[in-house]
Structure 1
Amino acid sequence: MITGESLAQVASQTIQALACTNAAVNMPVFRPCIGMDKNEIVTIARKIDTFDLSILPYEDFCTVFTPKHPKTKPSLADIEKIESQIDFETMINEAVQNTVYKIIR
């Protein structure tokens, strides 16, 4: 899995939160932006022509499900409890049906 997480860029991107992500998946997690600040990430996004895509006015998973006061030190047990209440199959099917392919050169 490849994410765009950058350490401490937002409240949920703490060492503890990143460790919970690692523990919750059965695959390697790559974070190429982990040590970059927002300006560096935006510069790269413009260079690879993904910036305009990233600012489209659509709600995504992050904006829909981000709490008003995210935990900076989540526990894996809390995450597993919440995840057990989510209908992932429906969410995955909707995501696949709405997938947009973009060739990045």
Structure 2
Amino acid sequence: MKLPKKIDLIIDETYTLTLPGWGTTGIFRTYEVIQTSQVVDVLPVDREDDDEDLEEPKPGEIRMMITGASKDEVFKIRGLKPGHSMIQFFQQHAGSSERQKEHLLEVNVKG
């Protein structure tokens, strides 16, 4: 799967980034906005609950999944105001604080 290195958005436009699932190996993804966090909003979303309102999952919500199955991980990126931002996505083993860089995404937001 080829991932974009750069995306262009307008204010309130949302881009959906899909990363291949590694759940069966105990790896999950996290991210960090490393430049100008006020320009974008990033939210990991559940594919089954994919909607445009960018609401956080409800506390204590449990998601059922077939044992041994791995699903893609989806992140929604929304432009908040004009500017430039960088988002670093990481791979991380469950229960570990060590993160390995995976993908750097440059985002330009226009008014």
TM-score class, shorter-chain normalisation, is under 0.3
Q: Which has the higher helix share?
A: 1
Highest relative contact order (Cα 8 Å, sep 6+), 1 or 2?
Answer: 2
**TM-score, scaled to structure 1:** 0.24
Greater percentage in strand? 2
